[in-house]
Structure 1
Amino acid sequence: MDRLDAMRVFCAVVEAGGFSRAAERLGMSTSSVTAQVAGLESHFRVKLLNRTTRSMSLTGEGRACYEQALRLLADVAELESSMHDAADTPSGTLRVDMPGLISRLYVAPALPRFLAQYPEVSLRATASDRMVDMVEEGVDVLIRIGEVADARLVARPLLQTRWVCCSSPAFLRELGAPADPSALADYPCLGFLSPQSRRLRVWQFAGAESFTPRARATFDHVDSLIEMCKAGAGIGQFMSLSVADALRSGELVPLLEPWQADGPVVHALYQQRQQRAAKVTAFVDFAAELFAA
């Protein structure tokens, strides 16, 4: 039995809250996970977990083992990272999580170039907007839109977005463009309904009051709302990332440009202990160059 691997498995069982869930995360069979933990208990000659058919809990010895194993595994990871840094060659598995919008429109099309540039890196990417525990889920880099809530993470700004009002060319031909933000009250508007709060997002402007659209139509799905805007249903306000392609193609026309306000910032997030890891540095630099372009 490799005791280091067994400790990794044991910690995964504790963090997942069960053997089957840990097995799923680790890509192992449940019987292998059970055998690893049993082997660790046999080696230490103590019981680490209280197990019943319905629940699992740490024993006193198990809690002490878990806390010390976490420190040991972190030290080993830091040692491995420093050895890779010494070689200065990005290598190993890189785990990245990013919003679906950013993945689909920006990062995914450019990833073949990243992989060609760093042939020793193996990429595992996921697309989500949920809160991710980087330590528990083994994620190396997060790309997120908006404020950084976790002060323990290093946050590198990648892009300052803008709030863009726009409509379809057909809509403009029929109703014309509003002269200023106050004129929006006379136009059919499309509102974004927050999936969490179920409230309309207030439109933001530079040098003018914010505006809550008396929406002709609302949607809690940004892509669908953009498609409605393209089809001429009304004026919408969107984050610049979301409508950049439609503006370039002419499917949407920007409005009220002198009043465009700053939107949320896109950040790359990673743990402080990984800020010198070659694979992390390579990907964050790649992302920064990608958004700068």
Structure 2
Amino acid sequence: MDKLDALRVFCAVVETGAFSRAAEKLGISTSSVTAQVNALESHFQVKLMHRTTRSMSLTGEGRECYEQALRLLAAMQDLEANLQQATQEARGTLRVNMPGLVSRLYVAPALPRFLARHPGITLQASASDRMVDLVEEGYDVVLRLGDIGDARLVARPLLPTRFVCCASPGFVARHGAPAVPEELAGFACLHFILPRAGRLREWQFADGAVFTPPSRVAFDHVDSLVEACKAGAGIGQFLSLSVEQELRSGALVPLLAEYQAAGPTLTALYQQRHQRAAKVQAFIDFLGEVFA
């Protein structure tokens, strides 16, 4: 008896509700279906089904066998798919979710290189700061800031960040710059509103210091907060990846550099069972280049 085949037949009987319908679904004879189920019962030495000419129901052992068989057959299907994909050209639809800012500033501008390298891949990307469930919502790869702590997922660190205080050159020329975080109380400051919590994000500094300076301006949209800071509305504190381009161009200047605190790491997450899939590995490698 091939145990996997017998389990497939057994699951088909449970799902169709009849031996004859299972036989029709599988393209085999009803007698073959009966023989496979009988062989399973003999092998396990338990009764899996209560059967009469008019009805069929699972025993307690049968229910447990069905649930375990579904997981076993799904794992075998994933194994076969992953081993095949590992030796194949990267192709198929790749579903990705990432924060909007990461998509706009880093991933989207580099996509032409990825698409040219992998013509067999179709990308469906969602830019959202919502905490999605990668497994339940069917994403292949998710990019997130911070530790997710999900044992089902493989985490590939991409980019460490830091908290950077900055302002426009014009603002510094007019108002000066604070020498220590405590002096921020005497400057116009710009705050970020945490969308889900609805409260101001506390400013982080080295050695675990936390300080929330007074402010007249707050946004729940990072891009708008950056633009206000560039326009000279005040001093803001941002994750380094949010203002890297502005700092390089000189549109913003860093302040309190010696007090900078480490921020969350940008991480790529994907399911363990997909880690050898060619399309997933191709995108993870691409991300490694983007954030090198």
With structure 2 as the length reference, what TM-score do the two structures score? 0.74
User: Does residue 75 in structure 1 map to residue 73 in structure 2?
Assistant: no
Could you say which residue in structure 1 is the equivalent of 2:133?
Answer: 133
Could you say which residue in structure 2 is the equivalent of 1:162?
Answer: 162
Secondary structure, in 3 states, of the residue corresponding to 2:291? helix
Contact 2:178 2:255 in 1 (8 A): yes
Could you say which residue in structure 1 is the equivalent of 2:87?
Answer: 86
Q: Deviations over 1:181-221 (max 9, x none)?
A: 12111111111121222221111111473211211211122
| CA distance, structure 1, for counterparts of residue 288 and residue 131 of structure 2 | 22
Shift of 1:67: 7.7
Cα 1:234/1:142, change in 2 over 3 Å: same
In structure 2, list runs of 5 or more residues that go unmatched: 1-14, 24-56
| CA distance, structure 2, for counterparts of residue 60 and residue 187 of structure 1 | 72
Amino acid at match of 1:266: L
CA RMSD in angstroms, aligned pairs only: 2.5
User: Does residue 216 in structure 1 map to residue 229 in structure 2?
Assistant: no
**Percent of aligned pairs with the same amino acid:** 58
Shift of 1:264: 0.7
Could you say which residue in structure 2 is the equivalent of 1:96?
Answer: 96
Shift of 1:70: 6.0
Q: Deviations over 1:130-171 (max 9, x none)?
A: 232323322111111112131221111000011010111111
Cα 1:129/1:66, change in 2 over 3 Å: farther
Q: Deviations over 1:8-62 (max 9, x none)?
A: xxxxxxxxxxxxxxxxxxxxxxxxxxxxxxx9679449xxxxxxxxxxxxx999x
Shift of 1:237: 0.2
Shift of 1:263: 0.6
Q: How many aligned residue pairs are there? A: 239
| CA distance, structure 2, for counterparts of residue 195 and residue 94 of structure 1 | 28
Amino acid at match of 1:152: R
- 1:220-235 equivalences under 5 Å are 220-235=220-235
Shift of 1:120: 1.9
| CA distance, structure 1, for counterparts of residue 155 and residue 283 of structure 2 | 14
Could you say which residue in structure 1 is the equivalent of 2:252?
Answer: 252
Cα 1:125/1:83, change in 2 over 3 Å: same
Larger Rg: 2
Shift of 1:68: 5.2
Cα 1:86/1:115, change in 2 over 3 Å: same
| CA distance, structure 2, for counterparts of residue 142 and residue 200 of structure 1 | 26
- 1:14-163 equivalences under 5 Å are 43-44=21-22, 72-87=73-88, 89-163=89-163
Amino acid at match of 1:180: V
Shift of 1:69: 5.0
Shift of 1:256: 1.0
Contact 2:85 2:276 in 1 (8 A): no
